Homo-oligomer: A and B are copies of this chain.
Amino acid sequence: MGKNENRKKETQGITVKKAGDFPEWYNEVVLKAGMADFAPIGGCMVIMPNGYAIWEKIQGTLDRMLKDTGHRNAYFPMFIPERFLKKEAEHFEGFVPEVAWVEDENEKYALRPTSETIMYDAYSKWIRSWRDLPVLINQWCNIVRWETKATKLFLRTREFLWQEGHTAHTSDKEADDEVMKILGLYTKLVEDYLAIPVLTGKKSEAEKFPGAQYTAAMEAMMPDGKALQMGTSHHLGQHFAKVFDIKYLDRDGREKMVWQTSWGVSTRLIGALIMVHGDDKGLVLPPKIAPIHVVIVPIIFDKDKKKVFDECRKVKEKLSGDYEVHFDERETYSAGWKFNEWEMKGVPIRLEIGPRDIAKRQVVMVRRDTGDKKPVKISGLEKTVGSTLESIQKNLFSRAKDFLEKSTVKVSTYKEFKKAIEEKRMVKTLWCGESRCEEKIKDDTAATTRVIPFSQRKPRGKCICGKKANCSVYFSRSY
């Protein structure tokens, strides 16, 4: 074995505890699980094959949901003329500090920080009649937010991947329904597939998308007590329709203006997945989003090699109809090394097969989420694997849900509020709804409003600032 392998072996595992140095733990998991790497460019990352495979699972899952609800994909230029970006004043103000510019002899172009303006210029040309509506277009692409300098892998980078949906409708109500439909799909994606529970609601005026009438969002709680925005769905009203002149001829022969929405989730979801489920051994992947469900590791002694390999292949064959199975047949690594590697990569189930197992017509099954290890008869293996994967999926969600619930506290005074924020909680409280109050709280505590829950009665009581309350709201520190 060369010195290089020794070097690798020394550093195979995670060297810090998740509960100890969380940011360092996160970076080590991302790097050692081959999810991403720092790029030699300020603020940029490389999404490595193991990370990209998860993005492909997220893409595949969401893309199917979007197509099933009538959305179609397209691709617009990444170059956005400055004159477009300037048309909607609030939008321009919101994005211009983050923009990278290129120019040619004609004009100046922003590298797409979001695509509302370039897409709606096309919509104003394409939409003529009520027959052309609704327009339900989605785009998978890269996005540039130039001012990002400190790279937080998957969480904050100068360039990232996302999808952005942009729709146009004949009524306010229809746009409203679309906003909520999409938030529903996002919630399904994140809760049912990524196994991460979310809080949903509307954003405050200060936190909404620049140019939106309102923003609906979902927020998740990270183990370090900071919230992460997981996805947003914006009702754009007629703000952009007015400035881009997106009109149609209605059934009644009159010209009307469309109502619009836009919405997106990004590779940031992968960061949340790592933070929420990972442990001191590395990544832990929910089965529904895991590129590999089962890894088979042979336990070999020289004389039994052929027999064990044959049995491993049979087991792989048996399971491959229903699951993604990988047989690790590398002979230059020990079984122990392989255990560590596949634990690091978060594969939900490991099957160990050695000569004694073969004699007993069994395999040894190890769950990644709990570490539970037990022998399982080969005869009913498909069924056991299936139910174990389901159980892992549920367990990961319920662990995260417990954490979210334990992290959430209700407060009614500013003193309690400050204490809870210091203790890294998600804080539910009554709120006056005023931006000045929100700003003061942010200055004092670094906490911001996360979401205003959708269905709530007009509250009786006072905001933590002492004024009359207008709604209840979640506050916390955030990424």
Give the B-binding residues of A (Cβ under 8 A): 2-5, 8, 37, 39-42, 44-49, 51-53, 55-56, 72-79, 81, 100-102, 104, 106, 109, 111, 118, 121-122, 125-126, 128-129, 131, 137, 141-142, 144, 146, 158-159, 161, 249, 253, 332
Closest to A250 in B: B2
Report Cα–Cα, A47/B118, bound state, in Å. 13
Copies of this chain, how many? 2
Structural contact, B73 and A46, CB atoms closer than 8 A: no
Jot down 10 A-B pairs with beta carbons below 8 A, ordered by A: A37-B126, A39-B76, A39-B77, A44-B79, A45-B77, A47-B75, A51-B74, A56-B73, A102-B146, A131-B332
Q: Which residues of B contact A53 (CB under 8 A)?
A: 72-73
- Distance in Å from the Cβ of A59 to the closest Cβ of chain B? 10
- Is B141's CB under 8 angstroms from A109's CB? no
- The answer for the CA separation of A49 and B126 in the assembled complex, in Å, is 12
**With A41-B81, A102-B100 known to touch, is A46 a contact of B76 (CB < 8 Å)?**
yes
- On whether the beta carbons of B249 and A4 are closer than 8 Å, the reply is yes
* Residues in B neighbouring A55, C-beta threshold 8 A: 75
**Inter-chain contact A39/B118, CB cutoff 8 Å:** yes
Cβ-defined contact, A2 with B129, below 8 A: yes
Cβ of B104 and Cβ of A42 under 8 Å apart?
A: yes
Main secondary structure on chain A at its contact with chain B?
mixed
Assuming the contacts A100-B102, A122-B37, asked whether A78 and B159 have C-beta atoms less than 8 A apart, the reply is: yes
The answer to whether residues A49 and B72 also contact, given A2-B249, A37-B122, A104-B42 and a CB cut-off of 8 A, is yes
CB distance from A90 to the nearest CB of B (A): 22
B residues within 8 A CB of A5? 129, 131
Query: Distance in Å from the Cβ of A81 to the closest Cβ of chain B?
Result: 6
Chain B residues within an 8 Å CB radius of A111: 102, 111
A34 to chain B, nearest CB (A): 9
Are A41 and B77 neighbours in the complex by a CB distance under 8 Å? Answer: yes
A52, B74: Cβ atoms closer than 8 Å? yes
Q: Are B74 and A49 in contact (CB under 8 A)?
A: yes
| Docked complex Cα distance between A118 and B40 (Å) | 9
Quote the shortest CB–CB distance from A121 to chain B (angstroms).
6
The 7 A-B pairs with the shortest beta carbon distances in the complex, nearest first, are: A49-B72, A47-B75, A44-B77, A4-B128, A39-B77, A2-B249, A100-B102
User: With the chains together, A4 CA to B74 CA distance in Å?
Assistant: 25
